[in-house]
Structure 1
Amino acid sequence: MGETHKYHLVGWDKVCSPIQFGGLGVRSSCAGGGALPLEEYLGCWINSRLNELFDAESISAIKRIIIPLVPTSDKLVWILDSKGHFSELKSAFNINNAQGSEVTEDIWKRLWKLKIHDRLKMLIWRIATGILPTRLTVVQKLGSGDISCPLCLEGEESIEHLFFKCPLARAILFGSNPAIFSHLISIPTCKDIIQYICEPHANSNSPIECPEHSSIQFALTLECIWNLRNQVVHNAYKINLVTQIRTLDARVLEYIQALDNYEADVGHSFWSAPSQGTIKVNVDAAISNDKATIAVVARNHRGIIINAWTKTLVYLDPTVAEASAICWALELAKAARFGSICIESDAKICVDAVSGPTTESPWKIRAISLQSLDLVGCFSFCSFNWVRRNANQLEHALAKVISQAPSFYCNLNSLPPSVVEAWNRDILSLGF
C-alpha cells in the first residue's frame, strides 16, 4: 500500500478488450479462429501466404514493398513512373520503348550534347558502334592473332568483356566513388551503353541521384579502363589498382566541380559543422552483391564523432537503401535523445521526399519517407540537407568498408583506417 509498487495479474479477456472499455486493445490471436502468424505482429509479409498465392519472382518483388508502420489505405501506382502517376500518352510511350532496346536517333544527339570532353564522346561512340580496336575485333578483321584479354588473360577481349566482365575492370567499377556494380547493369548490345550514359535515371542501379554526375562518372570510368588497357598492351605497364581508382575519383570530382560551378559554391562541397547544440547526422548507403549496407555518423559542432552505426538491408535498390538510411538515422537520434539535429544525405531524391509534398516523392520510397516524417516531431529542431558526395565521404567510406562485414557499432577509437582518413579531411576543412 502507499508508495509500494506491485504487479497484478489481469485476465486475457480484459487485456484484449478495447481501450474505451478499460482494456489494453491487444488483438487476440484466437479472434479469427486460430493463431496469427508471427509476421503479422511484426508488420512483415507472411511467407506462408505468399508461397500459397505467388511464384518465386512475384514473391521477391512483393517483399521489396515497404509496409508502413502506421496502417494506410492501399493505393494503386503506375510503376513505370517514378512518382506512381499514370499519364496515358507518356505511359504508352514508355511501354512501347521498353519492348526493345534499339537506340533511337535522339539518343545519339544527346550523346553529342553531354557536358563532357569531346574525347570521351568519341570513345563512347566507338564503343557503341563496335569499332573499338579490341583484340577480338582486330582478329575478326585480320583473321588471326591473339584474342586474350591483356588485363586478366582469362577471356576473349571483346568490348563486353573488357569493360564489364574482366575482373580488373569490375574492380575499377566497384572501387569508383560511388561504386558501380557491373553485374547489375543490363546492356544487351554495345549501343545500349549510350542509353545507359545519356539516361542514367532510367536505370534503377544508377549510383548517383544527379543524372549529369552519373553520366560523367560512367564515361570517365570507361576511359580509365581503356587507357589502362592501352598502357598494358603498348608499354608493359604494371597495374596498380589503388592508384588507378584514386586517379579516377579525382578526375570525376574535377569534372563535377567544373559542372557545378565549384568555385562559386565551395561551401556545399565539404562537410560543415552544425551550430553549437545541434548534432549533425550524415547518412549513406552502399550496395553489394546480395545486400545493402547503410551507415549513420553523428557529429557535434566541432566535428567530433559522437556515434557511428551501420547495418545491412535486403533492399538492393539504391534509392530505397538511401531512404532507409535517413529513417534509421532519425530512429537512432531519437534513441540517443538528441534534441536538435540536422540530417544530411547525398541522395537528393530522398532528401526532397522528406522536404516537400509526399505525393511528389517516388512511390517506392513513399512509405519510408512517411515514417521519417512521423519521427520529426520527436525533436525540438530537425532539418534535412542535400550535400554533394565530397561532403559525405566519411559515411560513404564507412558503408563501403562494412558492406562485406557484419553489422556493428563503433566509436572514435575503432573506426576503420579509410574512415579515419575521411574524417581527418573533414576536420582539416573546418580550420580548427
Structure 2
Amino acid sequence: MRDDRTWDVDMVHKWFNRSDAKAILNIQLPMDDTRDAWMWLGEPSGLFSIISACRSVKGVTHTTLADAKWKFLWTSKIHPRLKLIWWQLERDAFPTRGKIAKFMELNDVCCPVCGEDVETIFHLIWKCNLAKAIWFNSPMGLRAELVDVNCWEHWKNWFKVDFNRPPNLTFQEILITALCVAETVWSERNSIVHSQSRCPPPKVLLNVNNKIRDHLKVACNEVAEFCEWRPPPDSWLCCNCDISVDEEGVVLATVVRDDKGNIITIKTERSLSTDPLIGEGLAVCMAADLMHKMRVKNVIFQSDNMEVATDLSMEPGKDIYFKLTNIRKRFHQLCSYFTG
C-alpha cells in the first residue's frame, strides 16, 4: 500500500497469483486509520449469521429455490394465521388419512367429508365436493373440476401464470382464497371425524366467503383502524387478549388496563399449540388466570376473535366449536372466582 492509501498494483501482482491479486485489488482501502477486524465472508454485510454458516457447511453458495419459497411465504402481506396454514401446506404437515396410512394400517382412508377419494390435503382443498362448492360459490366463481392439477406445487405453478387466472385476479388473491378454503374444510373435516357433526353447507359457504373477504382486506391493508378504545367502568379492569403466530407456534399476550386507560400489566406466554383458534382461547384463559392471581374481582375480557368471544360467553351445556369446549370449561372455572 502506498502512502496515499492506494494499492501498489505492481507489487501486488509481483507477490500474488492472478486470482489472489484480483481479490486484493477489489478491496477498497479506508481513507482513515482503521483497526483490523474479522469479517464473515458468508454474508455481504460481513457479519456472521447461523444461516450462512449452515450454507457453508452444506456447500451451498447461493440462495436455493427452497430458500426463495420460504422467504416469499414469510414476507408476504397476508395474515399470520393464513401464513401458518400456508407453511403447513408447503411442508405437507396435515395429518390426513392418506398420509397416516403410509405408516400404519387404517380401516378407511377415504375423505370423511365426501367419501369419494383418498384423503389428502390437496383433495380437501381442491377435489372434495365441499371444496368445489366453496370455490364455485366464492366471488371468483371457479369450477375446480375444469382445472386439471393434482398437487399443491402443480396448483401454484398453474395459477401463477396470468392467463390461467380469471381476469383482474392476482395470484395473491387466489392464494388467500385457497388458504381460507384449506382452513374451512380442514375444520369441517375435524368436526366430522372427532364430533360426528356437520355444519350446514349454506352456513359453511357464508362463513368462508366472509373469511375470504376479511383476509383480502388485510392483505391489501384496507382494514379500518380502531379510532377509539373505551376504558372499562370505574374500578374495573379490562384485559385485551391476542396472539402472535410464528414458525414455532403461538405466543399468547394480554394487556391489562384500568378505568383510566392506564396499562397495569402485560403478560406474554408461549403455547405448545399451533392452532390459532385454540391460541386465541388460551390467551383469554391466561388473562383470567392472571386476574385470579391478582385477586381482581371486576374485570372485562376482550378478544378480536369472534368465535372465541362468542363461544366462551356461552353457558355450559350449549354446543360450541369442539376445539374450544375444554377452554370454555377452564375459562368459566376461573371466572367463578370473580364477583363482577
TM band (smaller chain): 0.3 to 0.5
For CA contacts below 8 A with separation 6 or more, give which structure has more relative contact order: 1
* Largest Rg, 1 or 2: 2
> Structure 1 length as normaliser, TM-score?
0.37
> Structure 2 length as normaliser, TM-score?
0.46
